[in-house]
A and B are shown apart, each in its own frame.
Chain A
């Protein structure tokens, strides 16, 4: 989330908005549209609901802007609001399902990765294919909430460990433990599929 931040005076923009220059809010949030949508989509699993959650989150952030004290980065604060909005929406939609997902039987268990003998790099060009993007989206969406939240912030939004801890109000130690498990679950789920994803194109096989 490092878009144009070097030339932006966010505290100044926020002060101006609070002083009545509401138009500036449009500029303030522009670099974060994608981040907020990504966050919402990985929760809602369909684009229409995700777009709705994203809009609500931006509106809520505007209404609560006076509460933002600059203790965390604006982006971190905004993502926390999005997270709460998405969670609240899911809870209202399917209370029973959320509860069952919230139990995390693997919290204490050991996660074994998928065992492979070799790995050929899957280049980012593979993401041009819809089925590969879908594979990744599904793997993230299917993580239980504890792990999904940490993975989303750290690996999708590329927050630091500290920022992730702040946004979720948990310790950095907990972030690391959950992140490790989440990444292992992703590897276990995706490595065998991705390995077969491009059977005809054998990267670097001539070595």
Chain B
């Protein structure tokens, strides 16, 4: 069985997560071997997923931690709602 590019696109996210059934994965893989456009779509999507997870994308502002703990100390210290 051969599948078209459009159908391969539907499987890209699950393919990256490794959650396709063995049978579907095999179909997709065989398509990818012969289709440079779908391969480029898979590679670019996977690349973007990796970059998105990188800690550098969202950096903590300077002094974030100090300000947070100072505020917590101030409010937790005096708050006494439960006792």
Contact = CB atoms under 8 A, between A and B. Distances in A.
B4 interface: no
A136 B9 contact: no
User: Considering residues B19, B50, B58, B65, which has the most beta carbons from chain A within 10 angstroms of its beta carbon?
Assistant: B58
Given A113-B41, A119-B47, A180 B12 contact: yes
B57 A63 contact: no
Interface in A1-57: 20, 22, 25-26, 33-34, 37-38, 41-42, 47, 51, 54-55
Interface residues of B, number: 47
Given A117-B40, A191-B44, 7 more contacts: A33-B60, A33-B65, A34-B55, A37-B60, A59-B76, A113-B45, A124-B56
A37 B41 CA distance: 31
Interface of A: 20, 22, 25-26, 33-34, 37-38, 41-42, 47, 51, 54-55, 58-59, 62-63, 66, 110, 112-119, 121-122, 124, 126-128, 133, 136-137, 140, 151, 155-156, 158, 161, 176, 179-180, 183-184, 186-187, 190-191, 194-195
Interface in B27-50: 36-37, 39-41, 43-45, 47-50
Contact of A59 (B36, B51, B59, B72): B72
A37 to B, nearest CB: 6
Contact of A63 (B39, B58, B68, B81): B81
Main secondary structure of the interface of B (DSSP, over half): helix
Interface of B: 6, 9-10, 12-14, 16-17, 19, 36-37, 39-41, 43-45, 47-61, 64-65, 67-69, 71-73, 75-77, 79, 81-83
